[in-house]
Amino acid sequence: MKRCLRHHLRVLRSAWWLLLLLAALALLIGWEAAAALGTYTRRVGELDPRSALAMALDLRHFFPLAGAVWAALWLGMDFDAAGASIPVSRGFSRFQVFGSKYLLFLAGCLAVSVLEQLFAVLSAVPGWGSLPAPFLLRCFALRLLLDLGMMSLPAVFPAWGRGNVYARLLGIAYGLLLWRLMGTHYGLWLPEMGLGPLWRALWPLAGLPVGLGGSALALRKAEL
C-alpha cells in the first residue's frame, strides 16, 4: 500500500494544478463565508465571538460542489487515461490501487475543510481565541466531519460512471442542488439556543460511509 500511495503522490505532484485547485477552493469558500459574515455584521452590528463563530461555521453551502469537482477530476483521471492499469500491471492489487487513491481523495477533502475554517475564522471572527477550548474543539471537529461527509459522497458518481462524463455531471448537479437547498443550522454550533431537533442537519455524517462503500462496490469490478 505504501508503494502504491507513493505512486499516486508522484501523480498528484505532476498534476500540480490540482493542488492549486484545492487551495483555491478552500480560499474561495472561506472568502465567501467571511464576506457574508462581514455583510451581516455591518447591517446588524458586531456579534459576540460565539455567535460570529457559529455563523462562520454554518456558511458551508459550497462544500458539496467542491467535493464533486475534486472527485470528478482526481478520481476520474484513472478512467480517462487508464491510469489504474499501470500500478496493477506492476503487481499491485485493486485494493491497493484504489484504496491509496481514495485516501488521497479524502486527504484533499480534509485539506479544503481545514484551510477554509482557518481562513474564515481568522479573518472574520474577532475574539475567537477567548472562547473555551472544548467549545472550539467540538465545533471544529463537527464541522470537519460534516464537510468530509458532504465532499466524499459525490465520489460515488465517477466511480460508478467510470469514463462517463455524464456520471460526473451528476456529482456537479448534487453539489449545485445542495448549494441551493441547504438551510442554516446555527443550533449545531450553539445547542443552548434551543432551536429544536437538528438531527436532519447531521445527515452528512452518513455521507462518508455511504460514499466509501458505494465507491468500493463500483471499483471492485471496474475495468482497467
Distance CA 209, CA 17 (A): 28
Q: What is the mean pLDDT of residues 112-120?
A: 95
| Mean pLDDT over each residue of the chain, to the nearest integer | 86
Neighbours of 181 (CB within 10 A): 8
- Indicate the burial class of 17 (C-beta count within 10 angstroms; 0-12, 13-18, 19 or more): exposed
Angle between the N-to-C axes of helices 133-152 and 63-70, in degrees from 0 to 180, rounded to the nearest 10:
50
| Residue in the structure block whose three cell numbers are 500500478 | 87
pLDDT at 221: 62
pLDDT at 18: 92
> Which domain, by its residues, includes 69?
2-220
pLDDT at 194: 60
Q: What is the CA radius of gyration of the chain?
A: 19
At 21, is the secondary structure helix, strand, or coil?
Answer: helix
How far CA 134 is from CA of 45, 50, 198, in Å, comes to 27, 13, 21
| Percentage of the chain lying above the pLDDT 90 cut | 43
Rama region for 196: left / alpha / beta (φ>0; ψ in -120 to 50; rest)? left
Q: What is the mean pLDDT of residues 67-93?
A: 74
Count of domains observed in the chain: 1
Distance CA 70, CA 58 (A): 21
Sign of CA dihedral 172, 122, 38, 201: positive
What confidence tens digit (pLDDT) does each residue in 182-205 have? 888 888 898 876 665 577 888 899
Span of 29-33, 86-90, 120-124 with lowest mean pLDDT = 86-90
Res 146 pLDDT > 70: yes
